Amino acid sequence: MTLARPQPAFSAARQQSVAAALRALLPPASILSDLEDTRPYECDGLSAYRQPPMVVALPQSEQEVLAVLKVCRDMQVPIVPRGAGTGLSGGAMPIADGVVLSTARLNRIVRLDAYARTAVVQPGVRNLAISDAAAPYGLYYAPDPSSQIACTIGGNVAENSGGVHCLKYGLTVHNVLRVRMATIEGDVVELGGEALDAPGLDLLAAFIGSEGMLGIVTEVTVKLVPKPAVARVIMASFDSVVAGGNAVARVIAAGIIPAGLEMMDQTSACMVEPFVQAGYDTGAAAILLCEADGTPEEVEEEIARMKAVLEGAGAGAIQVSSSEQERMRFWSGRKNAFPAAGRISPDYYCMDGTIPRKHLARVLTGIAEVEGKYGLRCANVFHAGDGNLHPLILFDANQPDELQRAEAFGAEILALCVEVGGTITGEHGVGIEKIDSMCAQFKVAELEAFFGVKRAFDPPGLLNPNKAIPTLNRCAEFGKMRVTGGVLPHAGLPRF
């Protein structure tokens, strides 16, 4: 694929002096500067955008994180924090003359307290590793991004990640009690606490989802919840996406909060079925997966109620998992949808926006209508209960123009989300991917407030700069700001 947004290169002298300053404080093997070593860090899950970093630092302790921050602060080097690099919005994409601070070696579970139902973990611990460690106590960590086998808790905190079970159990922000983080000024700050509430302003909530722009997460206390005794899932087919979308709204309107409520359209079902043989109805226009969990009695009652609602909403075939093995099989298609896209298209662009549930049918129809305009197919597989859409735009980057068409298609989907009262930030964050769409979503005064928060945490502006919050020039280029006589308004805001 092409390098979509090349940035100016650094000088060899600058690289050597930054690497030498870091090697003076960290073991030499923890600092990478040869291109063959830094290349693996050149992109995250948004692989259409690539940029090898000047230097990669792999600290092994909080002290070493502080040392990296000190060198970067003294030498005015931008820093990009990185967990597993599974982010889909380019948040961990390097800056050409910057340092990537990888948390790969901060991967220890510090403490697990089964009585308090908490775990204290370093930022590089994988999401699924927390649940694996808690399993012997009958506990688990509820937020479950589909990338949970690889993604880290530091990345989850930075993105406020969600997953299939977040409709019932909440997002990262609802399942993290405390974050310990290092500031660019060299302080270590604790936000939140081990109790359910903490004194002072709720800076924890402001920090979660801040995409690596406010500080480096060095430790996280997460809540653990008891594993439900039983879980069963209904798989229901619909003859139109509109009917499927309306069924989602009806389940919630009936006062049911399923443990998971996911939807896949026909393109997605046909894409995934030959890959994992989940038993999906490939003739249906839409498939809903609705999960109930709890005690056997609770599950039986909720399954019966959901079945009745789905039948009333026009479901055709309905199957209910009768064993754990069958439940996992039904979910395997949903969980493998992204890799399955790679089997039918050289590239895919995963969009991510959240809308009020009642507009699901309208937005899905809108997406189908613009497929022809861009000459690209789009598969929809998403967290329907949360109204969180994941249109997968299928394209081939080797064909002239297809990446640009995919991007324009994605931007139009996000504009549609905003139009119906939704948000472009979704669950994958803004990163570099959606930065222009921020200009469509927010007014200048709101962007000004965001920059105010960033400046309060990061006065020199070195932490993941040019991500997530667009500068005025970007919005002007994007046509979302009035420029009079060549002069931009709001003198106090960053321009570049």
Ligand X SMILES: Cc1cc2nc3c(=O)[nH]c(=O)nc-3n(C[C@H](O)[C@H](O)[C@H](O)COP(=O)(O)OP(=O)(O)OC[C@H]3O[C@@H](n4cnc5c(N)ncnc54)[C@H](O)[C@@H]3O)c2cc1C
Q: Given the rule CB under 6 A, which residues bind ligand X?
A: 44-45, 80-88, 91-92, 103, 123, 145-147, 151-152, 154-156, 158-159, 161-163, 211-212, 216-217, 338, 427-428, 464
CB of 11 to ligand X, least distance (A): 25
Which of 329, 467 has the CB closer to ligand X? 467
Residues near 371 by beta carbon (within 8 Å), at least 6 away in sequence: 377, 378, 409
- Of residues 91 and 260, the one with the C-beta less far from ligand X: 91
Report d(CA 494, CA 471) in Å as an integer.
6
Burial of 44 (0-12, 13-18, 19+ CB in 10 A): buried
**Helix (H/G/I), strand (E/B), else coil: 181:** strand
Closest CA to 396 of 345, 433, 351, 344: 345
For residues 68 and 45, give the distance between their C-alpha atoms in angstroms, rounded to a whole number. 25
Closer residue to ligand X in complex, CB, 130/299: 130
The minimum distance between CB 291 and ligand X, in angstroms, equals 15
Closest distance to ligand X from the beta carbon of 214 (Å)? 8
Residue with Cβ nearer ligand X (151 or 424): 151
Closer residue to ligand X in complex, CB, 37/301: 37
The residue type of 324 is E
Six token digits for residue 180: 């310990």
Q: How far is the CB of 297 from ligand X (least distance, A)?
A: 30
Distance of CA 420 to the CA centre of its chain: 22
CA separation, residue 227 to residues 131, 142, 215 (Å): 10, 9, 33
Q: Of 92 and 222, which CB lies nearer to ligand X in the complex structure?
A: 92
Determine the Cα–Cα distance for residues 321 and 328; give it in Å rounded to an integer. Answer: 9
Residue nearest to ligand X (CB): 155
Rounded distance, CA 203 to CA 380, Å?
Answer: 35
* Closer residue to ligand X (CB): 156 or 183: 156
**Residue (of 247, 238, 237) closest to 310 by Cα position:** 247
Give the CA dihedral 1, 344, 437, 90, nearest 10 degrees: -50
Provide the CB-side half-sphere exposure for 257 (13 A, CA).
8
